[in-house]
């Protein structure tokens, strides 16, 4: 007779314990970029809301940014790296197909031995990662998961491109997800549409790059992606609010992908969020940092207004794939928790 399989004990819920962020040091102005694309500070501000974008120095890599954000999140969570059992990294600027970047990040942090893998869901990568972490913690498959969105997009920009390059910045945002005595991360409403893969993404693959002797860049069909972001993604956001058992007026903080301030303002209306909702506008200074965008927006709001800790926030990631993910989360408290000394993690700590 065959034996019965054992399963891991499940947790009643999961939550974001803390977030951390790191941005490129240099704030690049619109005026610096406008010349080669026949644009202007006024056009970029009025069409996108961007005043500057954060860009990293040549010697600061995507992994350096990811490490800095992760260390900040771990410190704020009061956890040691040895308490992580999984690292999930969302990025489109790790220029190796294999090995993945997440194991290197885990090793840099001192979480050697933790399970670690990359996900490629572009600007939806962080929200995909939070959805995965929530499921894994609730199932008992993991106790503490580090979810990181990190991109150094300046390594892919084309200064003569008017479709997307002028929007892009460099940064990383990280969250530590752990067990909770009740659900504090709502169900992910996520999806994709590969039929529209050509709307936004890398222009050529690496075989074409080698053959042509040119480095790949990003391109988008801005107006069609804009409409998708406003109309289709707002529907997904409403579905995520409903899946959490809430109504749009109960959302206190809106954390959308920082792609365009006009998209964000349209989404507020179409989702039906309250006029009092606190809206993340990190894009104005940081620009679009792809996978880092939602966690960096969260990090800034918690830093600027610690009172928002504990509030109900709608996270919304969308971009190349096309891919999107939305979920409602209870924000972690701002500031630092008491460090624990390593060893086995306390349930619901």
Residues 6+ apart with CB under 8 A from 76: 17, 18, 19, 20, 176, 332, 335, 336, 337
- Cα distance between residue 119 and residue 259, in whole Å: 20
The smaller minimum CB distance to ligand COA, of residues 107 and 202, is found at 202
- Cα distance between residue 60 and residue 64, in whole Å: 6
The smaller minimum CB distance to ligand COA, of residues 213 and 223, is found at 223
The smaller minimum CB distance to ligand COA, of residues 225 and 314, is found at 225
Residue 94: active-site member: no
Residue 288: active-site member: yes
Query: DSSP letter at 222?
Result: H
Residue 260: active-site member: no
Least gap, CB of 164 to ligand COA (angstroms): 6
Conformation bin of residue 115: beta by default, left when phi > 0, alpha when psi is -120 to 50: beta
- Cα distance between residue 184 and residue 211, in whole Å: 49
The smaller minimum CB distance to ligand COA, of residues 3 and 223, is found at 223
Least gap, CB of 348 to ligand COA (angstroms): 36
Closest residue to ligand COA using C-beta atoms: 222
Residues 6+ apart with CB under 8 A from 309: 302, 331, 332, 333, 334, 335
Least gap, CB of 203 to ligand COA (angstroms): 14
Least gap, CB of 159 to ligand COA (angstroms): 12
Least gap, CB of 22 to ligand COA (angstroms): 20
> What are the DSSP calls for 15-49, one per residue?
EEEEEEEEE-SEEEEHHHHHGGGT--HHHHHHHH-
Least gap, CB of 349 to ligand COA (angstroms): 36
Structure tokens at 233: 């993604």
| Residues contributing to the site for ligand COA (CB under 6 A) | 37, 39, 43, 47-48, 123, 162, 166, 200, 220, 222-223, 225-226, 229, 259-260, 263, 288, 319
Distance of CA 22 to the CA centre of its chain: 12
Catalytic residue among 11, 30, 257, 260: 257
Give the largest Cα separation in the chain, rounded.
75
Catalytic residue among 94, 123, 127, 260: 123
The smaller minimum CB distance to ligand COA, of residues 162 and 182, is found at 162
The smaller minimum CB distance to ligand COA, of residues 116 and 200, is found at 200
Q: What is the H or E stretch that residue 180 is in?
A: strand 170-180
Instruction: Name the 3-class secondary structure at 302.
Output: helix
Q: Supply the residues annotated as catalytic.
A: 123, 257, 288
């Amino acid at each position: 007779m065959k034996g019965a399989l054992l399963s891991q004990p499940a947790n009643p819920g999961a939550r974001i314990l803390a977030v951390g962020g790191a941005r490129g040091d240099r704030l690049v102005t619109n005026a610096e970029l406008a010349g080669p694309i026949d644009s202007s500070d006024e056009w970029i501000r009025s069409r996108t809301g961007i005043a500057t974008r954060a860009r990293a120095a040549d010697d600061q890599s995507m992994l350096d940014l990811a490490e800095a954000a992760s260390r900040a999140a771990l410190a704020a969570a009061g956890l040691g790296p040895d308490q992580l059992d999984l690292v999930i990294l969302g990025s489109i600027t790790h220029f190796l197909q294999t090995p993945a970047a997440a194991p290197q990040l885990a090793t840099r942090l001192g979480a050697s031995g933790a399970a670690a893998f990359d996900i490629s869901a572009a600007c939806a990568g962080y929200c995909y990662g939070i959805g995965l972490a929530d499921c894994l913690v609730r199932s008992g498959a993991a106790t503490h998961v580090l979810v990181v969105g990190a991109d150094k997009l300046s390594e892919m920009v084309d200064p003569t491109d008017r479709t997307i390059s002028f929007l892009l910045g460099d940064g990383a945002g990280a969250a530590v997800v752990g067990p909770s005595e009740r659900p504090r991360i709502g169900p992910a409403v996520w999806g994709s549409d590969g039929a529209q893969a050509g709307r936004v993404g890398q222009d050529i693959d690496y075989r074409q790059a080698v053959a042509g002797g040119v480095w790949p860049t990003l391109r988008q069909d801005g107006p069609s992606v804009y409409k998708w972001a406003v109309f289709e993604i707002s529907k997904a956001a409403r579905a995520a609010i409903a899946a959490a058992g809430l109504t749009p007026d109960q959302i206190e903080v809106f954390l959308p992908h920082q792609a365009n301030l006009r998209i964000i303002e349209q989404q507020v209306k179409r989702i039906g969020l309250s006029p009092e909702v606190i809206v993340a506008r990190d894009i104005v200074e940081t620009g679009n940092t792809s996978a880092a965008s939602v966690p960096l927006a969260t990090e800034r709001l918690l830093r600027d207004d610690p009172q928002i800790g504990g509030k109900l926030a709608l996270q919304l990631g969308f971009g190349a794939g096309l891919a999107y993910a939305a979920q409602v989360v209870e924000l972690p408290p701002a500031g630092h928790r008491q460090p624990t000394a390593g060893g086995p993690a306390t349930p619901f700590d």
